[in-house]
Amino acid sequence: MLTTASALAAVFAPRRIALVGASDRDGSAGRLFWDNLRDFPGEVVPVTPSSSTVDGVSAVASLRDVEGAVDLAVVVSPAASVPGVIADAAARGVPAAVVISGGFAEAGPEGARLQAEMMAAAWAGGVRIIGPNCFGVQNCGLPLNASLGRGLPAGGGISVVTQSGAYGMAIHTLGRDEHARFAKVCATGNKADVGDADLLRYLGDDPATTVICFLSESMPDGRAFIEAAREITPHKPVIVARLGRSAAGARAALSHTAALASQDRVARAALADAGAIVVRSGLEMLDAARALDARPHPAGARVGIVTNSGGTGVELTDLLVEHNLLVPELSPGLRAELRALLPAVGSPHNPVDMTTVWHRYTELYPALIDRIARSGEVDVVVPVLLHRSASEEVSIAVRAAVAALRADGVAVPVYACWVADRDQRAGAKLLQEAGVPCFDWPERTARAVAHAAEAARNADPLAPSQPDHPSAPGPPATAPATVAAQPIDRQLDVEQAADLLRNAGIDVLPSTVCHSERDAVRAARGLGYPVVAKVVHPNIAHKSDVGGVRTDLRNDAALRAAAREILAIAPGASVLVQPHRVGVEVIVGGIRDASFGPAVVAGLGGVFAETVDDVVFALAPCTEADAHRLLRRMRGYPLLAGARGQEPVDLAALAALVTRVSELLAATPWLSQLDLNPVLCGARHVIVSDWRLYTQNQSPRDETARRDSPGHGGEMARRSP
């Protein structure tokens, strides 16, 4: 028996094919396959018991009657005949069969029995099976079209393995519409024999294949697939669209039986860990494949954008950043170079905006792409080709610029974002055919570029990795020069702030600021032990970071020691003494948004405020009903409502506190920020243990920075006072 690799070589690159079920009858599968195999360079032997010729070629009644060697049987005869056909193939030493016919396991118990019978014959005779119930295979390079799809797409590097026949065909058609270039296509159907892992290994070794795509509803050989993927992804991208992720989707796919949500997470984690690119749809798979079929791949995550529409540049930037890419500010030197090229109203900041100077498009697009790609400041260049720049002339100019980069060995890829009428596709085709991938609209562009960068990272494990929690709000992707001048707000004195809060009806722990050990002890005796001692210093915001919080101090000696150490933390430090209280730690805060005004924030507090990032927002002022709704939106709400048999905290008091904070913020315009963290919440108390309040202190640099920023084509917003 042949190895799987040899059997698959017979499937994709046969010299001689037998078409079992060949026919002259219009509309029959036998006729369709006969026609589709017309361009196959080798011989196709028609096999049918019902006619002595097919299309003028003399036919044989059975595979057993074929003279000479056959590499591949393509089987379109009825399901009931297939076990016999496979037995015949075995008898003749045919190494592989593609079984198109349906009516097997997908069709009920009787079909399942037929499938088992077919497989028994296959195993007995060493015949490897693709299918059954599939749309066939294609090898665009040969050409071989042993599939239901009419016509082959242009030859290229994308290979696709699809479980779903109809959807696979639809993606295939879209690929042709969008000028994707395919190497091999294989529908696996019921996966009775050859599975995803087998095909992955074969395509991993296939020199014609540059990118491997899987569209799978089930992956019974998941473990073998992962092992193969680990070996292949460092040198060839593997893209996996897993369908049937949801419970309802899995019901449709009829393939999963156990803990479904968690199964999807295991699969995703395992595939990603093996370096595969995991996508959510066939369309996303195809876009990622088109990006990766082109070379070079991005060496990093920095994207430079060239646009004729500021708004489109902004949207593309947002989407790229949300996909964990960077759209960095360019260096002053590069900006000066670009400014010399651009019209006066253009912007040399990234996204670089030439504005709608359409008569200069054929000159500006290639020039800007060239400068930015050669600068070393970005890893990818994305030109936005919108409306009048989505033209053949501009495409030709962009294509030439990319060719010049490649000729000079500049390994920065260029991906175009195409925004135009449906009937304006000729330019996109020019680019795509020249190896410059071209994507409709910013959404698909951003996603495809992100996958291209992801594949490059997978191939080079030393490359800087993406954040592992893309959904968590990371730091801003860049520190933009034009917004560096933040207003510096002034923090209120701790006792002033406490008074302000108490006047607003907000309970804070009784607290005494002490400047000596003796004062601290006096304060503690007044409050009653146990107490907490905390550092107070104008420059110390995170007290526990400097060891400035000591809890559960039970007597004078313990407090004295703690106070001594706290006072020594920094010159000018004092020590705040409070009664020791415990509870679920919540943060309640307030901010003032430039557009939307005051807003309250609530979330898990203490160390969780920073690590878990479980915060929710509401505009201020808000009612107590609003506040209850806000609290219920917290992921950590069960901790407040009494998780695991704990008593719930006093939610009414907490909601009242949130409402009072919102009212304080709304009524006190000079209060710019407010931070109550932690608020200690127990069954019978809700009390603020630490607080920081800030007053507005607009930096004069702020307005200057704005005014000096160069505008860009038609997109800048300013409201006159």
Give min distance, CB of 349 to a copy of itself, in A: 6
The H-or-E segment that residue 610 falls in is helix 607-611
Give min distance, CB of 190 to a copy of itself, in A: 6
Is 511 a residue that touches a copy of itself (CB under 8 A)? Answer: no
- Work out which of 41, 56, 68, 109 binds a copy of itself, going by CB under 8 A: 109
CA-atom Rg of the chain in angstroms: 34
Closest CA to 473 of 350, 381, 302, 603: 603
Tokens of 330: 């360019």
Is 538 a residue that touches a copy of itself (CB under 8 A)? Answer: no
Q: Which stretch binds a copy of itself (CB under 8 A): 115-123, 150-158, 514-522, 556-564?
A: 115-123
Q: Are 299 and 456 in contact (CB under 8 A)?
A: yes
User: Nearest 5°: CA angle at 18, between 13 and 21?
Assistant: 130
Alpha helices per DSSP H over 546-603: 556-567
Is 386 a residue that touches a copy of itself (CB under 8 A)? Answer: yes
Q: How many CB atoms within 10 Å of residue 18? A: 27
Is 582 a residue that touches a copy of itself (CB under 8 A)? Answer: no
Q: How many CB atoms within 10 Å of residue 625? A: 10
Q: Which stretch binds a copy of itself (CB under 8 A): 5-13, 304-312, 366-374, 563-571?
A: 304-312
* CA 116/CA 104 separation, integer angstroms: 9
- Work out which of 25, 64, 113, 223 binds a copy of itself, going by CB under 8 A: 223
Is 39 a residue that touches a copy of itself (CB under 8 A)? Answer: no
112-116: long-range pairs with CB below 8 Å, 24+: 114/79, 114/80, 114/82, 114/83, 115/190, 115/192
Is 684 a residue that touches a copy of itself (CB under 8 A)? Answer: no
The string of DSSP letters for 351-373 reads: SEE--S-GGGHHHHHHHHHHHHH
Q: Are 490 and 339 in contact (CB under 8 A)?
A: no
Q: Which stretch binds a copy of itself (CB under 8 A): 14-22, 255-263, 427-435, 508-516?
A: 255-263
Is 669 a residue that touches a copy of itself (CB under 8 A)? Answer: no
Distance of CA 260 to the CA centre of its chain: 21
Give min distance, CB of 136 to a copy of itself, in A: 12
Taking the CA atoms of residue 109, residue 110, residue 111 and residue 117 in that order, the dihedral angle to the nearest 10 degrees is 110
In the chain the first and final C-alpha atoms are separated, in Å, by 83
- Work out which of 67, 503, 528, 707 binds a copy of itself, going by CB under 8 A: 707
Give min distance, CB of 476 to a copy of itself, in A: 3
3-state class (DSSP) for residue 494: helix
Give min distance, CB of 320 to a copy of itself, in A: 8
Is 48 a residue that touches a copy of itself (CB under 8 A)? Answer: no
- Work out which of 222, 298, 427, 583 binds a copy of itself, going by CB under 8 A: 222
Q: How many CB atoms within 10 Å of residue 612? A: 13
Give min distance, CB of 465 to a copy of itself, in A: 10
Give min distance, CB of 494 to a copy of itself, in A: 19
Give min distance, CB of 438 to a copy of itself, in A: 14
3-state class (DSSP) for residue 26: coil
* CA 166/CA 178 separation, integer angstroms: 18
Q: How many CB atoms within 10 Å of residue 297? A: 20
Is 62 a residue that touches a copy of itself (CB under 8 A)? Answer: no
Q: Which stretch binds a copy of itself (CB under 8 A): 14-22, 360-368, 371-379, 588-596?
A: 588-596
Is 499 a residue that touches a copy of itself (CB under 8 A)? Answer: no
Q: Are 648 and 669 in contact (CB under 8 A)?
A: no
Give min distance, CB of 310 to a copy of itself, in A: 6
User: Within 410-469, which residues bind a copy of itself (CB under 8 A)?
Assistant: 419-422, 425, 441-443, 468-469
3-state class (DSSP) for residue 687: strand
Q: Which amino acid is at 378?
A: V
* CA 332/CA 348 separation, integer angstroms: 9
The H-or-E segment that residue 318 falls in is helix 310-322
Q: What are phi and psi of 185, to 5 degrees?
A: -130, 135
User: Within 315-354, which residues bind a copy of itself (CB under 8 A)?
Assistant: 315, 317-322, 326-329, 344-345, 347, 349-351, 353
**Relative orientation angle of helices 392-407 and 361-374, to the nearest 10 degrees:** 30
In terms of CB distance, is 92 or 302 closer to a copy of itself?
A: 302
Is 121 a residue that touches a copy of itself (CB under 8 A)? Answer: no
3-state class (DSSP) for residue 712: coil
Q: Are 292 and 451 in contact (CB under 8 A)?
A: yes
Give min distance, CB of 121 to a copy of itself, in A: 12
Is 257 a residue that touches a copy of itself (CB under 8 A)? Answer: yes
3-state class (DSSP) for residue 695: strand
Give min distance, CB of 119 to a copy of itself, in A: 5
Q: Which stretch binds a copy of itself (CB under 8 A): 34-42, 156-164, 360-368, 574-582?
A: 156-164
Is 136 a residue that touches a copy of itself (CB under 8 A)? Answer: no
Q: Which amino acid is at 18?
A: A
Is 102 a residue that touches a copy of itself (CB under 8 A)? Answer: yes
Give min distance, CB of 429 to a copy of itself, in A: 11
Count of helices and strands (H, E) across the chain? 24, 30
Is 614 a residue that touches a copy of itself (CB under 8 A)? Answer: yes
User: Within 474-493, which residues bind a copy of itself (CB under 8 A)?
Assistant: 474-483, 485-487
Is 607 a residue that touches a copy of itself (CB under 8 A)? Answer: yes
Q: Which stretch binds a copy of itself (CB under 8 A): 61-69, 152-160, 375-383, 605-613?
A: 605-613
In terms of CB distance, is 6 or 673 closer to a copy of itself?
A: 673
Site residue total, a copy of itself (CB under 8 A): 180
* CA 265/CA 348 separation, integer angstroms: 43
- Work out which of 29, 112, 357, 459 binds a copy of itself, going by CB under 8 A: 112
In terms of CB distance, is 441 or 529 closer to a copy of itself?
A: 441
In terms of CB distance, is 386 or 521 closer to a copy of itself?
A: 386
Tokens of 530: 């146990």
- The two most distant CA atoms of the chain are separated, in Å, by 113
Q: Which stretch binds a copy of itself (CB under 8 A): 16-24, 203-211, 373-381, 634-642?
A: 634-642
Is 219 a residue that touches a copy of itself (CB under 8 A)? Answer: yes
- Work out which of 138, 147, 164, 662 binds a copy of itself, going by CB under 8 A: 164
* CA 606/CA 610 separation, integer angstroms: 8
Q: Are 97 and 73 in contact (CB under 8 A)?
A: yes
Is 372 a residue that touches a copy of itself (CB under 8 A)? Answer: no
